[in-house]
Amino acid sequence: MRKQMRQSRATQTKQTSQTRIGVHALKKRRRVREAASLLFILALISLFCVWSRLAVLQAGYRMHDKLDRYESLQEEYRALRLELATRKSPQNLAPKAAEKLGLQQPTPDQIIVLSGAVRFAEQGK
């Protein structure tokens, strides 16, 4: 009987130590799982930060390109307005009209003023 008691105590001790080892192993696995989860979350946050920074940089480059395009269009617009003003000026139109169309300034006896036309012109003001 004593032998059985010793064996049962030894078995209990063995089981208790295995249980302690099992609990310790479970705690260790749990810590490893928590650490892995934390590292995964940190990696996701890091990837998000890198992605957002790249998105901001790309938006900045696109904005810079659009600004350059806008400035070049503004310059072209100014040049075209200047050319239009130059072409519309009387100093340029008179010689071209005389040369290409044979037009010239009317003499005073060629000018006819219509009385109805004057009233109509005054109404338009």
Span 27-59, pLDDT tens digits: 899 999 999 999 999 999 999 999 999 999 999
pTM (two decimals): 0.49
Stretch 54-72: mean pLDDT: 98
pLDDT band for position 9 (cuts 50, 70, 90): low
Find out whether 89 and 97 touch, Cβ atoms under 8 Å.
no
Q: How far apart are CA 65 and CA 100, in angstroms?
A: 45
Q: Is the dihedral of CA 85, 87, 88, 94 positive or negative?
A: positive
- In this prediction, residue 77 carries a pLDDT of 98
Domain edges within the chain: 2-124
Q: How far apart are CA 57 and CA 51, in angstroms?
A: 10
Residue 97: Cβ within 10 Å count? 14
80 phi and psi, to 5 degrees?
A: -70, -40
